[in-house]
Amino acid sequence: MRRTVLAALLTYACSGLVRGADPARNPALSGADALYPELEKLYIDLHQTPELSFQEVKTSAKLADRLRVLGYEVTTGLGKTGVAAVMRNGKGPTVLVRADMDALPVEEKTGLPYASKATATNENGETVPLMHACGHDVHMTSLIGAAMLLSKAKDRWRGTLLIVAQPAEEGGGGAGAMIRDGLFQRAAKPDFAIALHDSATLPAGQIGVTSGYAHANSDRVDITIYGRGGHGAAPQTTVDPIVIAARTVLALQTIVSRENNPQDPAVVTVGSIHGGTRNNIIPDEVKLELTVRSYKPEVRERLLAAIARIAKAEAAASAAPKEPTVTVSEGGYKAMYNDPEVTKRLTAAFRIAFGAVRVTEAPPVMGAEDFGDFGREASCPSVMFMVGGVERSKFAAAAGDMTRLPSLHSSLWAPDREPTLKAGAAGLTVAALELLGKP
């Protein structure tokens, strides 16, 4: 199956197929190509002026201004910098269409003539470089493109459009912040929620769909292991927390390899370990920082319980003077679940609009997304689909080896902007039209 999908993608990557959806297949997309110069200008502007999480003041203003001109009722300042824009067009379902706005503290090294040179001050008071290394500039531009197309095609749908520009997707809990600030009360409560994400593993213009779990639960766990410090030459007088930490790191690996069902994806990664000041001093404590990924709620609970159990047991086995502290940070991401029935509907609509060769099944990833919070809070089905961003010639040259291509969050990630933006704007439009009421 994977070889079949790869072969189809390589065939597409090497072909001369149209890069936007075919207006003949979906008349609402007529005029989409004419919008591209304006969307390209917006994309380059957003790419050059990235802003950190909850600092998206200029970005949100740009989007809000464009939405007002299109006739949407705009509310700003939701969740600090979020934007909600509503267009009502008779009786019918309410469909939320979302894009995220924040950038990453990454120095861009793409060499593009419009590469970001922006910097900002982070929460620690440090000056950091900025880049849209996760493609949120693609998401925002596609959102505006869809908002433009849908505002011009009101004769083809009925209901309410809720356009959402969300802050702080990158670890900041921006979706939850907008919800707590009254998004659904101050704008509209959706019956469906849709979004897209650019992909560094699909050729530009390709649509990827995933049914069921698509992104993982993501939890940060901090462990502090306590010992009794002393001279490195007299370890018998101490309880060495570095040794306890080393044994704990190794034991944690058995959670996934020996306690978890192999058919339930899970990750336990110790990404940081800090302890000690010099070679001949045994410290009093060591700190571990973990990221924990899963899909199912019961797997998440089992992983977190096992981490605490193992950390405490290893400390007890070494006669540590006190039990380690194990802290699960609040605000972790919950798994994003694409509703299977709605995914099926959207897949069929994409195949009609783009052609079957342009639509493929995308595997779930262990990365995290907070888009699912909108659907959970509104008790409505939600779906995020993927839009390929890899230049076709580069995708074909990689021949399936994704390590040869820059990934998302890489300083070298540079989507092939024209086919990616055209497919993004068209994809959101097609998805919204499928879920909105019909005249």
- Which residues are identified as catalytic? 333, 418
Give a three-class secondary structure readout of the chain.
CHHHHHHHHHHHHHCCCCCCCCCCCCHHHCCHHHHHHHHHHHHHHHHHCCCCCCCCHHHHHHHHHHHHHCCCEEEEEECCCEEEEEEEECCCCEEEEEEECCCECCCCCCCCCCCCCCEEECCCCCEEECECCCCHHHHHHHHHHHHHHHHCCHHHCEEEEEEEEECCCCCCCHHHHHHHCCHHHHCCCCCEEEEEEEEEEEECCCEEECCEEEECEEEEEEEEEECECEECCCHHHCECHHHHHHHHHHHHHHHHHHHCCCCCCEEEEEEEEEECCCCCEECCEEEEEEEEEECCHHHHHHHHHHHHHHHHHHHHHCCCCCCCEEEECCCCECCEEECHHHHHHHHHHHHHHHCHHHEEECCCCCCCCCCHHHHHHHCCCEEEEEEEEECHHHHHHHCCCHHHCCCCCCCCCCCCHHHHHHHHHHHHHHHHHHHCECC
346-348-351 Cα angle (round to 5)? 110
In this structure, the strands spanning 94-100 and 119-121 are unpaired
313: left (phi over 0), alpha (psi -120 to 50) or beta: alpha
Q: How far apart are the first and last CA of the chain?
A: 40
Count of beta carbons in the 10 Å neighbourhood of residue 238: 18
Report the sign of the C-alpha dihedral through residues 407, 60, 56, 94, in that order.
negative
Q: Are 276 and 287 in contact (CB under 8 A)?
A: no
Query: Which residue type occupies 169?
Result: E
